[in-house]
Chains A and B, each alone.
Chain A
Amino acid sequence: MALTIVSQIFPREMIPAVLPLIEDKLQHSKEIIRRKAVQALYKFYLIAPNQVQHIHDKFRKALCDRDVGVMAASLHIYLQMVKEDSSGYKDLTGSFVTILKQVVGGKLPIDFNYHSVPAPWLQIQLLRILGLLGKDDPRTSELMYDVLDESLRRAEINHNITYAILFECVQTIYTIHPKSELLEKAAKCIGKFVLSSKINLKYLGLKALTYVIQQDPNLALQHQMTIIECLDHPDPIIKRETLELLYRITNGQNVIVIVQKMLDYLKQSKEEYTIISLAGKVAELAEKYAPDNEWFIQTMNAVFSVGGDVVHPDIPNNFLRLLAEGFDDGKEDEQLRLYAVQSYLALLEEEDAFYPQKFLQVMSWVLGEYSSLVTDVDPEIILTRLHRLLKKTFVTAETKAWIMAAVTKIASRTTSSKTVDKLIREFSTSLDTCMRQYAFELKHLCEDKVLMKSLFPFDASCNDIVVDASLSFLDGFVAEVLGHGAAPYKPHHQRQEEKLSQEKALNFEPYGLSFASSMSSSGFTGRQSPTGLSFGSDTSGNSAETGHKETNSLKLDGVKKLWGKEGYLPKKENKIGKEDEALTVPRGSLLAGHVADPPVSQSDQVATFSEEEKEKQQLASTLFVGLGSNAGVSLMGKADMAVQKFKRKSKINETQNTEETPDIQNSAALALGPLLDTLPSNKEGHEGNEHTRLRKASLDSSDTTEDNLAFEKPQSLKKPGLDNRLLDSRLSSSSLFADSNIEIFHPSPSAQCESASKTLLAPSLPGELAELPHSEVVELCQSDDLALHLCKVWTDDSLLLTMFVSNKNTSALNDVNLVFEKAEHFQILESPAYQFSVIEAQSVEHCQQCVQMDKICTQGNLPGSINYQSGMETHLEFSITLSLLDFIRPMEMTTEDFGKLWLSLANDVKQNLKMSSSQDSFSAALNTLQQKLKLHIVDIIGNEGILACQLLPSVPCLLHCRIHAGMLALWFRSPCSALPDSLLYQCQKVMEES
């Protein structure tokens, strides 16, 4: 009973206290108690995963418990854990499969049966886990094919629960690495669902279909008539699921029909949530596949007027940005805007029409920006219409502000207008202070037309406004005041620090000995603003420099935009090609669209169909156009290729550029002489051979300057290589690496280790890195042609992943691409991809990636893949496990600094650990922490010790330990809330191990 309560209501803080008690209960002789204990631990895991991490072994034991209840309970934990990180539990796949086999085979006690189906909930849990484990992993999936097949076969009894299992089975089959036989069977199952007369089953069938269709759109074709029927189904949930399905199969050719269907539903539905999600989908489809401008504007109008004010704010924002930024074809932009203005004017013509606020805002913005495009309408008329809107009572203050802005913009382009004058007169006496303010502003602007014109340039909504963030124009003033003896400005935090240090007499904290020593340095750093941008305005020279920086980055901005457009161009061409293709398929003509698919066979019987059925057929042919076998198997691939007519400019491209360009600049600034050529060549793609040779040279030369011994196998280098080395070392300036600046290495990674021996391709670190602390070289993946090895190098300021690619073939490998995927917790600095243009036979190449931890976790995976050409394109996947400790570095500081920092940190975590007998002395325990966790021991005072470390790049974490009666009391503090938790866990682990 107590355990039931524990798992229902339990505060996070109490977990450490109760945990040992519950752990003991895992060994209890009664099943029910063991089961409840597992459940309680599951809850703990949900609340604070870090605190139960050390009992994972016990979960494994629970999984093998002789009682089914306990085993089932542990599955909950595993489902959760696998969901978070599937790669860590691949080894358990076998056990899960065996359990499922037993369950399906009816080996469980009979009282777990439910309507003569053995333990259905258990089955479903297992299926879900297997689905997660097998996702994108052919090898793991291989293990489950048999049991999945078995499950499909066994679940034949006509009962709801078997259908539920079937549904789960189908989902799993489509999630894991596909196998055609199973897919076929699963498809048959779905067919049974969809065609069922039971409404619940039909719904589930549709749901499964929606899921499956992402992999195989042809299934939709098989069931198209059913889908059409479901569209008109009286039950709204079926209708909605059908629309969801259609949404997934939308392409450029059927978009008009599908969007129409969705809008119809949208108009009927009243529920807010439905409207929001559906309106979002319509807008997305319209943006992606719009066949022409008119249709797009009309659709968006419908979305705005139906969706009203509940639509997601992104929709109007995106729409306006699209209008403003336009796409590459200026003429088309113009037309789109023109059409938008015309349609809005028409809408506003009606006297008493009611429109949602957001729609009005969109309208007024468009009219304000682009109304001058319409040449045949007098601006006076537009102004009158806007004026009329302003007087409506339903218009909110916010919308009024939008309208006023539009009026101001239009007014700036006309010479003089009666309506504007009237408007100013009316609202100058308005009770609404905002409106009065606008009216006055407008009045004064109207008096100075030249200023007004320059303030509101036409179509400038996307131009960036240059802001002088350093406020350099005030420098003269500041200098003058300083000259008169005024005190220099101190930022807020600096003043606070000073205040704190004055109060030191009252400070009773143990480490707060003195702050005076650090005063001078803090005075210096105080001038740095927290954003990293120097706001120093005390000397004009300084701010001139920042101003310079500012313009620099702005210039780069301009360059980037061009890039974005260039990247976009090919897609446009694509579209033209595709529309041609589309034209060959007569869209409207009944049923003629498909050549080799079900509709044709049905068309033979067309004479017997009633009028209504014909209509449905027609609808079907329009809906499923482009899905036929001639459209290829993968709809998704095609949909991706299909033009995104209104595709937004890719911002990613831009940001990447910003990162790269300064990089090159930096390196240029370092003036590395001959090496300079090699750095950018990485990005600009010079001739591969020359490239590698130069890079090799850069490294080799450094070797010669330092010590030849640093190279592990210098003698095995080929002779021509040696010649090159000598030649190159003469070329490169001698002091390149004298200051051992490792950062220079990142952009120009690699050296070539050429091993003469045929069998052994053991990768080893190049000289400089080998001297740094590093891990052992481990193998990540391998194929017949190449092997990938990894070595972690822990430099002072980063984690370098050194990847070795060894070519096992006797011929050279070309275009080897190494790509890291985006991981939840980690961030790759620089670009996540690296290309080796050529890897010679029997040789090893390497590259380095600098990684940072973005989100704190005790352990995480960084997935990636490598592909290369050798006869055929080969793709290998790998995953690197990184632990928090890879990112922890000692942080050196004085006791005083520690005391000061301690006070300023907010998040703290305390925990008592039992000391094992081997850690007899306090200092021994501290040494363990120092060695294993890379903590820096700041000071030891009696039975207390203080340690410090930092998470790269610079998140400090302080630790205070005290020994007391065989217990080690740990007290962490850090500015980051997750860090102490994770570190504590690492401490626990280390202390238990030693």
Chain B
Amino acid sequence: GCPRQQTGKIHFILLFSRQGKLRLQKWYTTLPEKEKKKITREIVQIILARNQKTSSFVDWKDLKLVYKRYASLYFCCAIEDQDNELLTLEVVHRYVELLDRYFGNVCELDIIFNFEKAYFILDEFIMGGEVQETSKKSAVKAMEDSDMLQETVEEYMNKPAF
């Protein structure tokens, strides 16, 4: 078919701690596992090396990294050059808000132990590298709905055991 042009989307999102431990990763471009690992290591190093006073944007290859630190966690997005960096920063912030609302005062441990929920929220919010659901309420509601579903399935599974 026609050549697909990639347009102003997020390439990947990484969450890592101040110690450089990767907490969550989401890739919107297809790359081999090895490559991903290499990139992650590289980026974590670049960002941890930056001091507090510099801007939240870094050039990296032909992409731009937009990062922000929340407590002990770094949230980092890679976007294309013509994208709006400030907006991406707010995307990150919105995601943190969503997490906060769902978990209630979110902390790093929440994400470590409930990583699948964090992923669900991210999926609800961003799809294919683009922001989809901007209403906080409906995103969280969707999450709660799927939680209900999950629990009923568990109940169902448990029943025949008796």
A→B interface (CB under 8 Å): 1, 4, 7-8, 12, 31-32, 35, 39, 43, 46-50, 68-69, 72-73, 76, 79-80, 83, 109, 111-112, 114, 119-122, 124, 128, 160-161, 163-164, 167-168, 199-204, 207, 234-238, 240, 271, 273-274, 857, 978, 981
User: What CA separation (Å) do A978 and B54 show in the bound complex?
Assistant: 48
A112:B135 contact, CB within 8 angstroms: yes
Smallest CB-CB A-B distances: 3 pairs:
A164-B86, A111-B137, A164-B87
Kindly provide the distance from the CB of B117 to the nearest chain A CB, expressed in whole angstroms. 14
Within 8 A of A (CB), among B19-57: 53-57
Residues on the A chain within 8 Å of B54, using CB: 199, 234-235
User: What CA separation (Å) do A31 and B55 show in the bound complex?
Assistant: 39
Within 8 A of A (CB), among B128-149: 128, 130-138, 142, 146, 149
Q: Is B151 an interface residue (CB 8 A)?
A: no
User: What CA separation (Å) do A164 and B93 show in the bound complex?
Assistant: 13
Knowing A111-B136, A163-B86, A200-B57 touch, does A39 contact B7 (C-beta < 8 A)?
Answer: no
User: What CA separation (Å) do A172 and B146 show in the bound complex?
Assistant: 39
Q: Output the nearest chain A residue to B28 by Cβ-Cβ distance.
A: A8
B134:A121 contact, CB within 8 angstroms: yes
Q: Is B121 an interface residue (CB 8 A)?
A: no
Residues on the A chain within 8 Å of B84, using CB: 124, 164, 167-168
New contact pairs (6) apart from A8-B127, A234-B54, A237-B55, CB-CB < 8 Å: A72-B134, A83-B7, A160-B89, A167-B84, A271-B59, A271-B61
Q: Output the nearest chain B residue to A825 by Cβ-Cβ distance.
A: B2
Q: Is B116 an interface residue (CB 8 A)?
A: no
Return the contact of A39 from the options B59, B132, B138 (Cβ within 8 A): B132
Return the contact of B135 from the options A4, A8, A48, A69 (Cβ within 8 A): A69
Residues on the A chain within 8 Å of B62, using CB: 273
> What are 9 sample pairs from A and B whose C-beta atoms fall under 8 A apart?
A4-B127, A43-B128, A50-B2, A73-B132, A121-B134, A200-B57, A200-B85, A204-B86, A235-B54
User: What CA separation (Å) do A438 and B90 show in the bound complex?
Assistant: 63
A114:B134 contact, CB within 8 angstroms: yes
Knowing A124-B84, A204-B86 touch, does A119 contact B134 (C-beta < 8 A)?
Answer: yes
User: What CA separation (Å) do A112 and B89 show in the bound complex?
Assistant: 18
Return the contact of A203 from the options B57, B93, B130, B138 (Cβ within 8 A): B57
B86:A167 contact, CB within 8 angstroms: yes
A7:B127 contact, CB within 8 angstroms: yes
Q: Is B1 an interface residue (CB 8 A)?
A: yes
B138:A32 contact, CB within 8 angstroms: yes
Return the contact of B138 from the options A111, A163, A201, A271 (Cβ within 8 A): A111
Count chain B residues whose beta carbon lies closer than 8 angstroms to a beta carbon of A. 39
B1:A48 contact, CB within 8 angstroms: yes
Residues on the B chain within 8 Å of A69, using CB: 133, 135, 138
B55:A8 contact, CB within 8 angstroms: no
Q: Is B111 an interface residue (CB 8 A)?
A: no
Return the contact of A160 from the options B5, B8, B57, B86 (Cβ within 8 A): B86
> Which of A48, A122, A204 gathers most chain B CB within 10 Å?
A204
Q: Output the nearest chain B residue to A40 by Cβ-Cβ distance.
A: B127
B7:A80 contact, CB within 8 angstroms: yes
B2:A121 contact, CB within 8 angstroms: no
> Which of B1, B61, B131 gathers most chain A CB within 10 Å?
B1
Q: Output the nearest chain A residue to B138 by Cβ-Cβ distance.
A: A69
Q: Is B159 an interface residue (CB 8 A)?
A: no
Residues on the B chain within 8 Å of A207, using CB: 85
> Which of A1, A240, A274 gathers most chain B CB within 10 Å?
A1
User: What CA separation (Å) do A442 and B57 show in the bound complex?
Assistant: 56
Residues on the A chain within 8 Å of B123, using CB: 4, 8
Return the contact of A237 from the options B4, B59, B142 (Cβ within 8 A): B59
Kindly provide the distance from the CB of A386 to the nearest chain B CB, expressed in whole angstroms. 37
Return the contact of B59 from the options A46, A204, A240 (Cβ within 8 A): A240
A164:B90 contact, CB within 8 angstroms: yes
> Which of B2, B54, B123, B137 gathers most chain A CB within 10 Å?
B2
Residues on the B chain within 8 Å of A39, using CB: 127, 132
User: What CA separation (Å) do A109 and B135 show in the bound complex?
Assistant: 9
User: What CA separation (Å) do A46 and B142 show in the bound complex?
Assistant: 25
Knowing A160-B90, A978-B1, A978-B2 touch, does A273 contact B61 (C-beta < 8 A)?
Answer: yes
Q: Is B94 an interface residue (CB 8 A)?
A: yes
Within 8 A of A (CB), among B67-114: 84-87, 89-90, 93-94
Residues on the A chain within 8 Å of B137, using CB: 111
By DSSP majority rule, is chain A's interface helix, strand, loop, or mixed?
Answer: helix
B86:A112 contact, CB within 8 angstroms: no
User: What CA separation (Å) do A833 and B26 show in the bound complex?
Assistant: 51
A49:B136 contact, CB within 8 angstroms: no
Q: Output the nearest chain B residue to A244 by Cβ-Cβ distance.
A: B81
Q: Is B58 an interface residue (CB 8 A)?
A: yes
A199:B134 contact, CB within 8 angstroms: no
User: What CA separation (Å) do A47 and B128 show in the bound complex?
Assistant: 12
Kindly provide the distance from the CB of A311 to the nearest chain B CB, expressed in whole angstroms. 16
Q: Output the nearest chain B residue to A73 by Cβ-Cβ distance.
A: B132
User: What CA separation (Å) do A532 and B78 show in the bound complex?
Assistant: 49
Residues on the A chain within 8 Å of B138, using CB: 31-32, 69, 111
Kindly provide the distance from the CB of A43 to the nearest chain B CB, expressed in whole angstroms. 6
Q: Output the nearest chain A residue to B3 by Cβ-Cβ distance.
A: A855
A200:B2 contact, CB within 8 angstroms: no
Q: Output the nearest chain A residue to B53 by Cβ-Cβ distance.
A: A199
Residues on the A chain within 8 Å of B87, using CB: 120-121, 124, 161, 164, 168
Q: Output the nearest chain B residue to A45 by Cβ-Cβ distance.
A: B4
Residues on the A chain within 8 Å of B55, using CB: 199-200, 202-203, 235, 237-238
Return the contact of A32 from the options B1, B2, B58, B142 (Cβ within 8 A): B142
Q: Output the nearest chain A residue to B62 by Cβ-Cβ distance.
A: A273
Residues on the B chain within 8 Å of A168, using CB: 84, 87
Residues on the B chain within 8 Å of A76, using CB: 130, 132
A114:B86 contact, CB within 8 angstroms: no
Knowing A4-B123, A978-B1 touch, does A237 contact B57 (C-beta < 8 A)?
Answer: yes
User: What CA separation (Å) do A163 and B89 show in the bound complex?
Assistant: 11
User: What CA separation (Å) do A114 and B125 show in the bound complex?
Assistant: 14
B90:A161 contact, CB within 8 angstroms: yes
Residues on the A chain within 8 Å of B127, using CB: 4, 7-8, 39
User: What CA separation (Å) do A124 and B127 show in the bound complex?
Assistant: 17
User: What CA separation (Å) do A555 and B62 show in the bound complex?
Assistant: 46
B7:A79 contact, CB within 8 angstroms: yes
User: What CA separation (Å) do A49 and B93 show in the bound complex?
Assistant: 33
User: What CA separation (Å) do A9 and B65 show in the bound complex?
Assistant: 25
User: What CA separation (Å) do A50 and B87 show in the bound complex?
Assistant: 32
Q: Output the nearest chain A residue to B50 by Cβ-Cβ distance.
A: A235
Residues on the A chain within 8 Å of B2, using CB: 49-50, 857, 978
Q: Output the nearest chain B residue to A72 by Cβ-Cβ distance.
A: B134
Q: Output the nearest chain B residue to A159 by Cβ-Cβ distance.
A: B90
Residues on the A chain within 8 Å of B85, using CB: 200, 203-204, 207
User: What CA separation (Å) do A199 and B53 show in the bound complex?
Assistant: 8
A111:B86 contact, CB within 8 angstroms: no
Residues on the B chain within 8 Å of A978, using CB: 1-2
A68:B135 contact, CB within 8 angstroms: yes
Knowing A80-B7, A167-B86, A273-B62 touch, does A49 contact B135 (C-beta < 8 A)?
Answer: no
B90:A122 contact, CB within 8 angstroms: no
Kindly provide the distance from the CB of B102 to the nearest chain A CB, expressed in whole angstroms. 15
Residues on the A chain within 8 Å of B128, using CB: 7-8, 43, 46
Kindly provide the distance from the CB of B143 to the nearest chain A CB, expressed in whole angstroms. 11
Q: Output the nearest chain B residue to A122 by Cβ-Cβ distance.
A: B134
Residues on the A chain within 8 Å of B60, using CB: 273
Return the contact of A200 from the options B4, B86, B135 (Cβ within 8 A): B86
Residues on the B chain within 8 Å of A202, using CB: 55
User: What CA separation (Å) do A50 and B136 show in the bound complex?
Assistant: 34
Residues on the B chain within 8 Å of A274, using CB: 59
Kindly provide the distance from the CB of A432 to the nearest chain B CB, expressed in whole angstroms. 35
Kindly provide the distance from the CB of B50 to the nearest chain A CB, expressed in whole angstroms. 9
User: What CA separation (Å) do A396 and B127 show in the bound complex?
Assistant: 48
Residues on the B chain within 8 Å of A234, using CB: 54
Residues on the A chain within 8 Å of B7, using CB: 79-80, 83
Residues on the B chain within 8 Å of A237, using CB: 55, 57-59
